[in-house]
Structure 1
Amino acid sequence: MARKNSGGFGETIRTVVYAVLIAVVIRTFAYEPFNIPSGSMKPTLLIGDYLFVSKFSYGYSRFSLPFSPNLFSGRILGGEPERGDVAVFKKPTDNQTDYIKRIIGLPGDTIQVVGGILQINGTPVTREEVGPYTDDDGRVYTRYIETLPNGVKHPILETSDHEFLDNTAPYLVPPRHYFAMGDNRDNSQDSRVMSDVGFVPAENLIGRAEFLFFSTDGTAGWLEPWKWFSAVRYDRLFQAVR
């Protein structure tokens, strides 16, 4: 009897170890979950969204591995991001903080913002006003649909066309780097702020945001289970990120 109990306990330990190893492999090479802590990607992504990022979309770098060990440089088995991808990357100025933004500029591009209008290689990007967007805190923005040169359409928010980052110098994107911007244009620390984010090295890319698997509006705390179901944004569950 004692031997049988011992075997059962050992089998349980092996099952747990296998489960952990499978989870680590999936997280490292396939999909990794992330949550959205800020409003810099509104209206595409909201605070309280939880999403899966495909690790294999751009290949693998040391930042694909847990704790980012410095085992190799560059990327292996890599695909290139496309303009308009919503990507997760390590913030270039500290190589530790996870950021999520939209890829706007590719290597060799010249990016500039003039009077709130994004310009790519000297050509203004088309944007179409949709109407007002009221945030949870009551702030009202203007919502536009922006069409990138490759045809990707996505929403952006503007407080006005006269904010701090609405007029910039031209940025020439270096080889093997990318220019990333938040969809909430006047409330995003992104590649326009060279001292804080700047150009994103290809090595810093973690993956492409694919779909939401959960979303909560933040009105329910962990110790308030009676509010959990009413706090879920059911209309956002299992939505693709575009």
Structure 2
Amino acid sequence: MHFNFPLILVIAVAGTGLLALLDRLLLAPGRRRAQERYQREVDVADPQTIERLGKEPLLIEYSKSFFPVLAVVLVLRSFLVEPFQIPSGSMKPTLEVGDFILVNKFSYGIRLPVLDTKVIPIGGPQRGDVMVFRYPNDPRVNYIKRVVGLPGDHVAYADKQLFVNGEPVSRELLRVEPDDEVPAGHPLQAIAEADVFQEQLGETTHLIRHKRLSQAPPAREWVVPEGHYFMVGDNRDNSNDSRYWSASDMPRELWGMVPDNYIVGKAFAVWMHWPEPKLRNLPSFSSVALIN
């Protein structure tokens, strides 16, 4: 079950705010009048009775306490920075499972919460950005990939090599490492390896990963439509992304390119690593870093 947290937060802010306003305009003056009337009607006023007549209802008290906190969270989360957790290995080695990241919500323009309508254009995604977006097949789910193709770009993928507008994306082999994604006990576990490259995409230098035992998919090419972005994971042989969009790609789930109105923001930092949020497994802050 997926909860629409932005909608819940907006409703919570609106509800607590309205109750606080109702108390300020109607209920609080009524309580003060009740206190004054009581004091006029008795010779000696009982302090406890005065306090009881002026006491805020519990719902009003909670609403006035929570409203400013919820309002600040709404503003920060909707317009400035939002935290996310990485649930899969599709962005290895840049991002590991269990990384907690921060996403800049205004890099690509100010959007209204819930509606995701851009109201103030500031900038757009650039090649090489690590971007969080709503999954086109299920907008309740957030995905994270790297921007490879901008509107109008010609993108190709052949023999595990990316091409953008006819030019191969520059890369350099850095190291060969054991493929830790092969299940324990698999007959190929002992020999499975992965190549780690340093790739230059636009102005961004970052790491990507290729499995040596994974076959290259058929050569494909695409033209990115206006208002859309071509997204690819850094873990090139283990990422469901814009490269998979036709029936021949089954059993991978098809979803194609990302429309502009599905953009959430630009990922810019890892602030914590906690693969299993449990008390016996404490979070680690050793991987705090900016995201390239």
Report TM bin, short chain: 0.7 to 0.9
Equivalence for 2:55: 6
8 Å CA contact 2:214–2:237 kept in 1: the answer is no
Asked whether the 8 Å contact 1:133–1:141 carries over to 2, the reply is yes
Moved more, 47-56 or 9-18: 9-18
**Alignment pair present for 1:170 and 2:221:** yes
State whether residues 115 and 161 of structure 1, in contact with CA within 8 Å, keep that contact through their aligned partners in structure 2: no
C-alpha contact (below 8 Å) 1:115/1:162 kept by paired residues: no
Please show how residues 192-211 of structure 1 align to structure 2 within 5 Å: 192-195=243-246, 196-211=254-269
Question: In the alignment, what sits opposite 1:151?
Answer: 203
**Aligned CA distance change for structure 1 residues 16 and 189 (closer, same or farther; 3 Å):** same
Would you say the 8 A contact 1:116–1:161 is kept in 2? no
Q: State the Cα deviation string for residues 119-160 of structure 1 (Å, max 9, x = none).
A: 111111111001123355565311000112x33211000013
Task: Describe the SS at the equivalent of 2:109.
Answer: coil
Residue 108 of structure 1 aligns with which residue? Answer: 152
- 1:29-48 → structure 2 map (5 Å cutoff): 29-48=79-98
* Residue segments in structure 1 that go unaligned for 5+ positions in a row: none
Pair 215,4 (structure 1): closer, same or farther in 2 beyond 3 Å:
farther
Where does residue 285 of structure 2 map in the other structure? 234
Give the letter aligned to residue 85 of structure 1. D
Distance in 1 (alpha carbons) for counterparts of 2:213 and 2:153: 23
Number of residue pairs matched?
Answer: 225
5 Å-filtered alignment, 1:73-84, equals 75-78=118-121, 79-84=123-128
**Larger of the two Rg values belongs to structure:** 2
Q: Are 2:172 and 1:128 equivalent residues in the alignment?
A: yes
The residue that corresponds to 2:105 in the other structure is 55
1 or 2, which has the higher helix percentage? 2
SS at match of 1:170: strand
Between the aligned partners of 1:156 and 1:137, the Cα distance in structure 2 is 15
The 3-state SS of whatever aligns with 1:188 is coil
Q: Residue 241 of structure 1: CA displacement?
A: 1.2
Change in Cα spacing, 1:39 to 1:80, as seen in structure 2 (3 Å) is same
Letter in structure 1 aligned against 2:91: M
Deviation at 1:92, TM superposition (A): 1.8
Structure 2 gap ranges (5+): 1-47, 183-191, 247-253
Deviation at 1:94, TM superposition (A): 2.9
Any idea what the Cα deviations from partners look like across 1:171-212, whole Å, max 9, x if unmatched? 100111110100000000000011522111111111000111
Structure 1 stretch displaced more, 98-107 or 133-142: 133-142
Runs of 4+ in 1 over 6 A off after TM superposition: none
Q: Does 1:65 align with 2:65?
A: no
TM-score (norm 1): 0.83
Q: Secondary structure at the match of 1:234?
A: coil
Match of 2:140 among 96, 102, 107: 96
CA distance 1:214–1:4, change in 2 (3 Å): farther
1: CA distance, partners of 2:74 / 2:241: 30
- Is the 1:116–1:162 contact (alpha carbons within 8 Å) kept by the matching residues of 2? no
Map Cα deviations across residues 95-142 of structure 1 (whole Å, 9 max, x no partner).
332110000111111111111111111111111001123355565311
TM-score (norm 2): 0.70
Instruction: Spell out, residue by residue over 1:53-109, the C-alpha distance to the aligned partner (whole angstroms, 9 max, x if none).
Output: 111111144xx624xx48x5xx33221111100000111233332110000111111
Could you tell me the percent identity over the aligned residues?
Answer: 35
Structure with bigger RCO (C-alpha 8 Å, 6+ apart)? 1
Judge conservation of contact 1:90–1:96 (CA < 8 Å) in 2: yes
Query: CA 1:19–1:188 in structure 2 vs 1: closer, same or farther (change >3 Å)?
Result: same
Q: Provide the alpha-carbon RMSD of the alignment.
A: 2.4
Q: Is the 8 A contact 1:217 1:233 kept in 2?
A: no
